[in-house]
A and B are shown apart, each in its own frame.
Chain A
Amino acid sequence: MHDAEEPLGRLALTAALLALWPAATPAWAQVNVVVTTPDLKSIAEAVSGGAARVHSLIAPGADPEAFEPRPAHLVALREADLVVRVGAGYEHWLDRLIQQAGKPHLLPGGEGYLDASAGIALLEMRGRSVTITPGHAHGSANPHYWLDPVNGLAIAQRVAGALARLAPAQRPGIEAAHARFAAELRQRTVEWQKALEPYKGAPLVTYHNTWPYFARRFRLNIVEVIEQKEGVPPGVGRLAAVAKTMREKKVRAVVHEPFQPIDASRALGERTGARVVVLAPSVGSVAEASDYLKLFEFNVRGLASALAQ
């Protein structure tokens, strides 16, 4: 009798534990957030106060133009509660991925979808049409809006709001973390503006058209963008024209990014005496820019020291 009852007893105990298990988890359940870029990841982590587990589809340091979807990305999306995208046509591949993941709440309009560009004052707007105009080949506006810290505040607010909506039990923690992040960002923005104030209006040339938002916030004058069509290296005529403009406007710095072929910028720099300064367009693209605040720290200090000479 005794031997026959023991396994039954164990079974009853296990069943009881399993029944009570769901009641035991809510206190530390994290919201699964999938974002597209490391910048969004940095902001989301800063405002979540531990309430969210954030995964970025584009790996830090990877070339965003060379993104290729993989099975691991689909798995990440399937488990996501919230998807945050940059928008403005930056990730044209995301819609397809979300559809393939088959989660209706992640589709546009669903409760798990957040387009961080809604409400942001976008620059260099064009219509919805796809025409061959210089600048970004994809999208309806310049998508690099996270390079303005004030836009970073807006992104932080929207992400915090979405997180609080999805995890109401952790709202106090999220709001506290958000307040901390916003306060620090505001204070540092003032410092950065002060650091670049002596160079207000300094003429710059950039290789890729990544920096309008940065230029607007820190009052810089981007005279010319070398790359006219994405991915196509500039021809001789273009280089000569840019060199001429650089001499006329006395441009002292050429802004370059880690993924662009540096030869054209270097050649221009040599011919005109301007310095080539490498700035980070995104968190993780250089080792020092490991989060959103450090990204600006790196860029502002780098540009200031390049223009100081």
Chain B
Amino acid sequence: MNEIAGFLVFPAIAAAIFVVMHTWLGLHVLRRNVVFADLALAQLAALGAAMAVAAGHPPAGTAGFSYAVFFAGCGAVVLTILRSLPERVSQEAVIGVLYVVATALTVLVVDASPQGAEHVKKMLVGSILVVGRDEVAELLVLYGAIGIVHFAFRRQLLAASDPAAPGRGVMRGVFLWDLVFYASFAVVVTSSVRLAGVLLVFSFLIIPAVIGSLYCANAGRALAIGCAAGIAASLAGFAAAVAYDVPTGAVLVASFGATLIVAALLKTRAKIAGLGAACLLSSAVLAQGAWIIAAPAADQPLLALLERTTPLRTDVFLDEAEREQRALAAVNEERHSDAVERLRELERASRWQGEPLTEEQVQVLGAHQKAYSEMARGERFVQDHLRVQARIRGRWLIGLPTLAVGLVALFAFAATLRRALRR
């Protein structure tokens, strides 16, 4: 456990720093209604990094960062000018085009440099897990500077972001404040995307800000609520990554999504939320009932979940002989897989211990491994076939009651929900 905690200290600190900075920027972004500007700027930063690699610089150096900031900065200028465009030109459309063209250009640039592809892939998923002390120190310095600017001029920046702020029309230098905002936004996104990846940075930016805005209109308090939610989501995400041993970046994004759902649920009346959940569950049950009748040989997700978590089994539809056959197949599959593993270990040990195996011996060993693998696959096929047989035999007996229950429940809950909403 200590080992794992040691790995997570700096990533957790980095996540907290990211949450604070990005929530504040996210509140601005929501007010300006340019949610996907983040993706466009991140992709431009990726394009810059790809160009740096194509020009021969190492991807993670100062040159790479400068290229990325330059390209993201150009994007920032475009976004600033966007505000002055006539009404009929949709901002989101231009941002979307910027994102798509930047992505395509990145593919073309990466094509010219062999290692660029790996770097670009990394920018999507990120590698927050391997953030170290140096990176955290750099972040503190950079974000500290930007934070001071934003704190000192918070009133002007908020007024520039808010389209409905009184006196905004006559505010001097709105263009300048827009530029300051987008420029600082570009620098922050560039520095965070290389560590956390595009997906996670989007989550840091939007989700805590949405949660904060949901609960409070005042920017300062929304920031506090958003930060709290974001840090809680990050900790939950890291815990899940450890518990289920899954890629950290992706599970963090999922955790942020779940936190948003929880926050939204907490805001709605408990009764409505409960009825809504009950409706969803009834629909799932209804769908499963209809599905097993229509296509019993296909995957049955809800049924599989029930079989895994409860003592319910579709085995009852198999006769004694078939059940024995299935059990025997499972045992044999395990035996064959073990045999493959043992042979693998034997070969591995012979590489550096004792006498090396001759080419013929390796070939014979390989042939055995192949044969055992095929046999294991055969046993798996037998088990799958029997499982499908059981479901086919039980389709009406399982399907009709499930369908009926789901239908009745859905009607009941939906009616109650509609009544509750009308009040």
Known A-B contacts A141-B366, A233-B125, A267-B132; A61 and B248 likewise in contact (beta carbons under 8 Å): no
Interface presence of B163 (CB below 8 A): no
* A-side contacts of B377, CB under 8 Å: 127, 129, 131
* B-side contacts of A184, CB under 8 Å: none
- Smallest distance from the beta carbon of A295 to chain B beta carbons, Å? 16
Question: Are B370's CB and A236's CB within 8 A?
Answer: no
Of A5-13, A79-87, A219-227, the stretch lying at the interface with chain B is A219-227
Interface string of A185-226 (1 = CB under 8 A from B): 000000000000000110000000000100110011110000
Q: Which of B98-143 contact A (CB under 8 A)?
A: 114-115, 117-118, 122, 125, 127, 129-130, 132
Alpha-carbon distance between A150 and B357 when the two chains are bound, in angstroms: 14
Interface presence of B37 (CB below 8 A): no
Q: Which of B8, B350, B351, B373 contacts A126 (CB 8 A)?
A: B373
Q: Which of A129, A201, A237, A244 contacts B373 (CB 8 A)?
A: A129
* B-side contacts of A124, CB under 8 Å: 344, 347, 369
Question: Are A240's CB and B4's CB within 8 A?
Answer: yes
Question: Are B353's CB and A201's CB within 8 A?
Answer: yes
Q: Is the interface of B mostly helix, strand, loop or mixed?
A: helix
Question: Are B127's CB and A123's CB within 8 A?
Answer: no
Question: Are A216's CB and B351's CB within 8 A?
Answer: yes
Interface presence of A94 (CB below 8 A): no
* B-side contacts of A260, CB under 8 Å: 118
Interface presence of A121 (CB below 8 A): yes
Interface presence of B397 (CB below 8 A): no
Alpha-carbon distance between A59 and B115 when the two chains are bound, in angstroms: 12
* B-side contacts of A258, CB under 8 Å: 115
- Smallest distance from the beta carbon of B169 to chain A beta carbons, Å? 49
Alpha-carbon distance between A62 and B110 when the two chains are bound, in angstroms: 11
- Smallest distance from the beta carbon of A252 to chain B beta carbons, Å? 15
Question: Are B115's CB and A235's CB within 8 A?
Answer: no
Q: Which of A128, A233, A243 contacts B247 (CB 8 A)?
A: A233
Alpha-carbon distance between A200 and B353 when the two chains are bound, in angstroms: 9
Question: Are A129's CB and B374's CB within 8 A?
Answer: yes
* B-side contacts of A221, CB under 8 Å: 351-352
Alpha-carbon distance between A305 and B71 when the two chains are bound, in angstroms: 41
* B-side contacts of A236, CB under 8 Å: 4, 7-8, 129, 238, 241-242, 245, 248
Interface string of B1-21 (1 = CB under 8 A from A): 001101110000000000000
Known A-B contacts A215-B352, A219-B352, A233-B127; A271 and B115 likewise in contact (beta carbons under 8 Å): no
- Of all chain B residues, which has the CB nearest A271? B6
Interface presence of B246 (CB below 8 A): yes
- Of all chain A residues, which has the CB nearest B1? A240
Question: Are B4's CB and A125's CB within 8 A?
Answer: no
Interface presence of B340 (CB below 8 A): yes
Question: Are A125's CB and B114's CB within 8 A?
Answer: no
Interface presence of A56 (CB below 8 A): no
* A-side contacts of B340, CB under 8 Å: 126
Q: Which of A112-150 contact B (CB under 8 A)?
A: 121-129, 131, 140-141, 150
Q: Which residues of A contact B (CB under 8 A)?
A: 59, 61-63, 66, 121-129, 131, 140-141, 150, 200-201, 212, 215-216, 219-222, 232-240, 243-244, 258-261, 263-264, 266-267, 270-271
Q: List 21 A-B contacts (CB under 8 A).
A: A63-B117, A63-B118, A121-B363, A124-B347, A126-B370, A150-B359, A201-B352, A212-B351, A215-B351, A219-B351, A233-B125, A233-B247, A235-B248, A236-B7, A236-B8, A236-B241, A240-B3, A259-B115, A261-B127, A263-B127, A267-B132
Additional A-B contacts beyond A222-B348, A238-B245 (4; CB < 8 A): A124-B344, A124-B347, A233-B247, A263-B127
Q: Which residues of B contact A (CB under 8 A)?
A: 3-4, 6-8, 114-115, 117-118, 122, 125, 127, 129-130, 132, 238, 241-242, 244-249, 340, 344, 347-348, 350-353, 356, 359-360, 362-363, 365-367, 369-370, 373-374, 376-377
